[in-house]
Chain A
Amino acid sequence: MTGRHGAARRDWWTAAAVGALILATAFPFYWAIVSSFTPESQLFRSPSLFPRQFVLAHYRALFVERQFWVPIRNSLVVAGTTTVFCVTVGAFCAYALARLRFRGKVPLLGLILAVSMFPQISVVSPLYLLLRSLHLINTYPGLILPYLTFAMPLTVWLLVGIFRQLPAELEEAAMVDGASRLRTFREVVIPLALPGLATTAILTFVYSWNEFLFALSFTLGPERQTVPVAIALLRGQYQVPWGQILASAIVATAPVALLVLAFQRRIVQGLTAGAVKG
C-alpha cells in the first residue's frame, strides 16, 4: 500500500475512523439531550432519532420540585474548596519535592504515588467512623476531608512535574540575586507556573465534582448530597423518572464540559504529561 493511491486510501480510513469516533462519542449526548426535552408520554414509547416535540417540563420539575440547585451548590462548595486547599498546600509540597535537597524525598514521592492508587473503598469505614465521632457526617468538611485522599496526591504529583519543567537556571539566578528559596518560589516560580497551576486546579475540580463513593457514604440527605449522588438517587413514584434523570445529567455535565472544552489543550497536556515520559 505505497504511493499516492495507498496514501489516499489511508486518508479515507483515517477520516472514517475519526468520524466514527466523533459520532460514537457524541451520540449518547445527543440522545440524552433530545430525550430530556421529550415529554414523558413519548419517552416510553418507541423512540425515534429526530423527535418532534420539545418541552421544558423535566427541567422545570428538576429545579422547582426537586430543588436541583441544592446539590449543584453542594458540589460547587465541596469541589471548589478541595481544589483551592489542595492546590495551595500541594504547591508548597511539590516545590520542595521538585527542587529542594533532603533525605526521604524518594520514599515520599513513592508514598504519594502509592496513596493515589488507594482503592477508596478501603478507607470508607474508618473515615465513616472518624467523621461520625467528629459529628461531621452530612457536612461540607465531612466531604472535603475524605476528598483529600485522592485530591492531595493528585495535585502534588501533577505540580511536581510542572515545577520540574521550569528552567532551573531561573531559580538559580534569583538565588544569586539574593532571593531566598521561599521568595524565589513566590516571585519567580509561581508566576511562571500559573498555567500549570490552572490545569492542576481544573483537573482536581473535575475529579472532585465527579466523585461518588465518598459522597454517597458520608451524606445523609438532599441538603448535603452532591450532584452525582443526587442524580443516582433520583426516584420516581411509579416509574423511573428518565426525563428528569436525563435533564439532571445534562445540567450536571454542561458546566464541566464547558470548562473542559475551554481548556482542552491544557487538560490533555496535564493528563498525559505525568503518564508518558517525554
Chain B
Amino acid sequence: MRGWERGRALPRGDPGYGVERREARLAWWMVSPAVAAIALVALFPLAWTVWESFHQHDLRMPWLGRPFIGLDNYVEAAGDPRFWAAMGHTLFFAVVSVSVELILGTFLALAMNRAFRGRALMRASILVPWAMPTVVSGLLWKFMFDGDAGIANAALVKAGVFDQPVVWFIHTGLAWVPVILADVWKTTPFVALLLLAGLQNIDASLYEAARIDGASAWRQFRFVTLPLLRPAMMVALIFRTLDAFRVFDLIYVMTGGGPGTSTEPIALYTFNSLLQYLRFGYGSALSVIVFAVTFALALLYIRFLGAGLTETRT
C-alpha cells in the first residue's frame, strides 16, 4: 500500500522533488481510467470522423470503395441547399428559444427569489420537466397540438381565435410553435434555476444601499441586478445556445424534420445522411461542421470561465 512512499532520505538534490514526482505518478494512475475511457469513446471517434470526412464512403454502394477525396464533401455541403436550410433552421430555433428562455427565466428567477412560501413546490415543478426525456416532453406537446385530439385547438376554437381546428404540423411556420413551446417548457426552468443561483449571490445590502439612495425598483434592477447577474446570464446563454444548436430529440419526435424538411435542424440532417442515406463520408463532413461550430461556442465559454479552472488547493 505504501510501497511507493517508502522513500529513503534522498541526497541533496532538488528538495522535495521526489515527493512531488511520486505524487504526480499517483495522480496519473488515478486519472488514467477516466482519461482512457474518454479517449476511447470521444477523442478517437472524433479523430476518425474528421478523417472519414475526407473520404467518399457510401454504404449503399460498397463497390465504390472508400477513396480519399480531400475537401470534396465540404465543397458539396457548401453547395447543398438542404445543408444551408438546416443551418438556418437551427439558427432560428436557437435564437428564438434561447431568447424566450432567457427573458422568461429572468422573470421567473426574480419571482422565485422573492417568494418565501411554496419554495419546495416551485423547485419540484421546475425539476420535473428537466428530468423527463426530451422525447417524452416533445410527445406531450405534440399531443396537445394534435389536429384532432389536441387541447390547444379545442381551447383556441372555443376562445374564438380560430374558426376550426388547425393542423399545426402541416404548415412549416405553425409547426415551429409547438416545437419551441416544448423546448421553452422543458428548459426555462433550468435557466431560471441558474439565474436564481446568480441572484442569490447578490449581496442584499446592495439593494438596501440603492433604496436609501432613492432608486426605484426598475432602477435597482437595471443598476444592481442586471450587472451582477451578467455572469450567470452568460453561463445560461452559452449553455443553452450549445444545447439548442445540438437539438435532435425534440424535432425527431415532433416533426421528424417536416413538413418535408422544413424544420430539419443540422443534427437531424447529419443523422439522416449517416444512418438513413448511409453516406458516411458526407455525413462525417457534416458532423465535423457541427462540431466546429459547437467548439467555437465552447471556446467562448471556456475563456469566459477560464479563471476558475486553475484554482486548486493541495
Touching in the complex, A and B, CB below 8 A? yes
Which residues of A are at the interface with B, using a C-beta cutoff of 8 A? 1-2, 6, 10-11, 13-15, 17-18, 21-22, 24-26, 28-29, 31-32, 35, 43-49, 89-90, 92-93, 95-103, 105-106, 108-115, 117-130, 145-146, 148-149, 152-153, 156, 164, 168, 180-183, 206, 209-213, 216-217, 227-228, 231-232, 240, 242, 245-246, 249, 252-253, 256-257, 259-261, 264-265, 267-268, 271-272, 275-278
Assembled-state Cα–Cα distance A90/B38 (Å): 11
Also in contact, A123 and B46, with CB within 8 A (given A28-B141, A93-B35): yes
For chain B, residues 56 to 72, give those with C-beta under 8 angstroms from any C-beta of chain A: none
Chain A nearest CB from B227 CB (Å) reads 15
Residues of A within 8 A of B112 (CB): 18, 21
A-B complex: 10 closest residue pairs judged by Cβ atoms: A93-B34, A17-B111, A126-B45, A102-B24, A272-B197, A100-B27, A126-B48, A96-B30, A210-B133, A102-B27
Assembled-state Cα–Cα distance A217/B44 (Å): 19
Are the CB atoms of A122 and B33 closer together than 8 Å?
no
Interface string of B271-314 (1 = CB under 8 A from A): 10011000010011001101100110110011001001111111
Chain A nearest CB from B159 CB (Å) reads 13
Assembled-state Cα–Cα distance A13/B53 (Å): 55
Assembled-state Cα–Cα distance A232/B310 (Å): 43
Are the CB atoms of A148 and B298 closer together than 8 Å?
no
Which of A15, A122, A213 meets B291, CB within 8 Å?
A122
Are the CB atoms of B34 and A123 closer together than 8 Å?
no
Are the CB atoms of A130 and B45 closer together than 8 Å?
yes
Are the CB atoms of B134 and A123 closer together than 8 Å?
no
Nearest A residue to B267, CB-CB: A121
Are the CB atoms of B123 and A182 closer together than 8 Å?
no
Residues of B within 8 A of A93 (CB): 30-31, 33-35
Are the CB atoms of A164 and B123 closer together than 8 Å?
no
Are the CB atoms of A276 and B231 closer together than 8 Å?
yes
Also in contact, A181 and B287, with CB within 8 A (given A122-B49, A125-B49): no
A-B residue pairs in contact (CB < 8 Å), sample of 15: A14-B111, A14-B114, A18-B111, A21-B126, A102-B24, A103-B24, A120-B246, A149-B38, A212-B249, A227-B133, A252-B133, A257-B132, A260-B124, A264-B123, A268-B123
Point out which of B118, B126, B151, B190 has the most chain A C-beta atoms below 10 A from its C-beta.
B151
Are the CB atoms of A149 and B271 closer together than 8 Å?
no
Q: Is the interface of B mostly helix, strand, loop or mixed?
A: helix
Answer yes or no: B140 CB below 8 A from chain A CBs: yes
Assembled-state Cα–Cα distance A212/B129 (Å): 16
Chain A nearest CB from B309 CB (Å) reads 5
Residues of A within 8 A of B30 (CB): 92-93, 95-96, 100
Are the CB atoms of A275 and B314 closer together than 8 Å?
no
Also in contact, A31 and B144, with CB within 8 A (given A100-B27, A122-B288, A217-B275): yes
Residues of B within 8 A of A115 (CB): 38, 42-43
Nearest A residue to B120, CB-CB: A264
Which of B34, B236, B249, B288 meets A92, CB within 8 Å?
B34
Answer yes or no: B194 CB below 8 A from chain A CBs: yes
Are the CB atoms of A245 and B287 closer together than 8 Å?
no
Answer yes or no: B223 CB below 8 A from chain A CBs: no
Given A93-B33, A93-B35; 6 other pairs, CB 8 A cutoff: A25-B128, A117-B301, A146-B41, A149-B42, A152-B38, A232-B135
Residues of B within 8 A of A43 (CB): 149
Chain B nearest CB from A91 CB (Å) reads 9
Residues of B within 8 A of A260 (CB): 124, 127-128, 130-131
Answer yes or no: B208 CB below 8 A from chain A CBs: no
Which of A125, A180, A213 meets B287, CB within 8 Å?
A125
Assembled-state Cα–Cα distance A96/B34 (Å): 11
Which of A113, A209, A275 meets B302, CB within 8 Å?
A113
Chain A nearest CB from B288 CB (Å) reads 7
Are the CB atoms of B131 and A256 closer together than 8 Å?
yes
Assembled-state Cα–Cα distance A109/B23 (Å): 18
Residues of B within 8 A of A125 (CB): 49, 52, 274, 280, 283-284, 287
Answer yes or no: B257 CB below 8 A from chain A CBs: no
Residues of B within 8 A of A268 (CB): 123, 127, 193
Nearest A residue to B33, CB-CB: A89
Nearest A residue to B148, CB-CB: A44
Chain B nearest CB from A127 CB (Å) reads 5
Which of B35, B126, B201, B275 meets A25, CB within 8 Å?
B126
Which of B38, B49, B127, B198 meets A126, CB within 8 Å?
B49
Interface string of B253-269 (1 = CB under 8 A from A): 10000000000000100
Chain B nearest CB from A7 CB (Å) reads 10
Are the CB atoms of A121 and B41 closer together than 8 Å?
no
For chain B, residues 103 to 155, give those with C-beta under 8 angstroms from any C-beta of chain A: 107-108, 111-112, 114-115, 118, 120-137, 139-141, 143-144, 146, 148-151, 154
Assembled-state Cα–Cα distance A261/B121 (Å): 9
Which of A1, A118, A228, A261 meets B124, CB within 8 Å?
A261
Residues of B within 8 A of A245 (CB): 139, 143
Chain A nearest CB from B180 CB (Å) reads 14
Point out which of A26, A93, A130, A153 has the most chain B C-beta atoms below 10 A from its C-beta.
A93
